[in-house]
Amino acid sequence: MACSRMALAIVIRLACLTAVFAAPFSFKDNPLGNGFPMIVQPSDALTVISVNAHGSLPNSPPPPNKPSADALTSLRLIAFNELFEVAYFTELLNNITNNVEGYEVGGRDDARNFMIKALTAVQAQEELHVLNANGAITHFGGEAIQPCTYNFPVSNINDAITLAQTFTDVVLGTLQDVVSLFGTDGDTALIRGVSSVIGQEGEQNGWYRTFLGKVPSALPFLTTSTREFAFSALQGFVVPGSCPNLDTIKLQIFKPLTVITANPEPKEQDITFSVEIAKDSDWMSSYSITYINQQNLPINKPISNVNIVDRTVTFSANFPYDMATFGNGMTIAAVTNSTGSFDSASDVAKATVFGPGLIEIN
């Protein structure tokens, strides 16, 4: 099911073909048994989480003024994303701890112990990120975001860490959007806390990249994203219809864009994509592919080799990789309905019809 609207396509496509159909993850049978995400503050359960997280929820008072409606939307998206991350790292930690096939950490015992120690911290830190975001939402009279049931399209440790790196890249881009909007909307009291999480997720990602044999720091200026791209990508991991209050998150969900080209090399090349359409008029010859990479102006490329079989449209577009200027780290691809030049990732999101497709190089 996760494969049907797979946004994190490169990593996942292969995994989809060989997917082990494990039961979807639900917090109802959370192996941690601590009642998360219903954690009373204070409580023994919270103390255990904080010990594992090596630190606490912020104890400074919440901002005196109610955040803007848009800031609350951002907090809801953060809670939605962090709930997914808790689910993911809980299952990953469990797989490694129980030596599930594909998750045996080879080599010395030290490597396995380190992995368990690090993921125990990450898992608990993500729990505190959820409690912090949901705590702010409920403090200002909103409804806490509730977890969904999740499906993860990975079945070995390398794919699992690759996927963790990819979704963390999306988060690192999206929190840039969130703090910019806090600034624009005058929600300055929220900027410091969320910025502390940007660094925190960056520390995690340096480790995922190192594990994969990549240079720990991907780029001089990390690729930016928008809230809509993150929210759309996350739909690929949730069992449709399983999120109790998804509709309280007022952000657009784009139709999925799949990147067919697996593990693209660091060179200029054509990349193949596909989308599913419901009717012929859902595909227009005026569409193009737009790429967002680093903090640079988005690049627009024409679509070619369009092939429509049943309801699947396959097509390709040039990917103008250049070691010095374009294509390292995460690139967000989107099918847009404007051939005009875009000034920003937000401009791209406004014209996006299908997306995001995520391309990772180096």
Binding site for ligand NAG (CB under 6 A): 20, 22, 88, 91-92, 95, 100, 102, 152, 154-155, 160, 337, 351-353
* Smaller CB separation from ligand NAG, 189 or 353: 353
Would you say 235 and 255 are in contact if contact means Cβ atoms under 8 Å apart?
no
Nearest-approach distance from CB 15 to ligand NAG, in angstroms: 8
Nearest-approach distance from CB 362 to ligand NAG, in angstroms: 24
Nearest-approach distance from CB 351 to ligand NAG, in angstroms: 5
Distance in angstroms (rounded) separating the CA atoms of residues 171 and 166: 9
- The residue written with tokens 């608990």 in the block is 124
Query: What totals of helices (H) and strands (E) does the chain contain, helices first?
Result: 8, 8
* Smaller CB separation from ligand NAG, 88 or 208: 88
* Smaller CB separation from ligand NAG, 160 or 299: 160
Residue burial 3-23, b: 16+ Cβ < 10 Å; e: rest: bebbbbbbbbbebbeebeeee
Nearest-approach distance from CB 126 to ligand NAG, in angstroms: 13
DSSP, res 36: T
SS3 of 72-90: the string is HHHHHHHHHHHHHHHHHHH
* Smaller CB separation from ligand NAG, 74 or 151: 151
For every residue of 45-66, DSSP letters joined together read HHHHHHHHHTS----SPPPSSP
Nearest-approach distance from CB 130 to ligand NAG, in angstroms: 17
Closest CA to 199 of 172, 164, 227: 172
Distance in angstroms (rounded) separating the CA atoms of residues 336 and 166: 22
Distance in angstroms (rounded) separating the CA atoms of residues 81 and 85: 6
Nearest-approach distance from CB 208 to ligand NAG, in angstroms: 13
Distance in angstroms (rounded) separating the CA atoms of residues 346 and 60: 32
Phi first, then psi: give them for residue 360, nearest 5 degrees: -120, 125
Nearest-approach distance from CB 337 to ligand NAG, in angstroms: 4
* Smaller CB separation from ligand NAG, 254 or 321: 254
| Region class of 355: left (phi > 0), else alpha (psi between -120 and 50), else beta | left
Nearest-approach distance from CB 125 to ligand NAG, in angstroms: 17
Nearest-approach distance from CB 266 to ligand NAG, in angstroms: 27
Q: Output the CA torsion 137→143→144→150 (10° steps).
A: -130
Q: Tokens standing for 117?
A: 């120690």
* Smaller CB separation from ligand NAG, 156 or 272: 156
Would you say 355 and 232 are in contact if contact means Cβ atoms under 8 Å apart?
yes
Which residue is nearest to ligand NAG, using beta carbons?
Answer: 22
* Smaller CB separation from ligand NAG, 100 or 277: 100
* Smaller CB separation from ligand NAG, 3 or 189: 3
* Smaller CB separation from ligand NAG, 314 or 338: 338
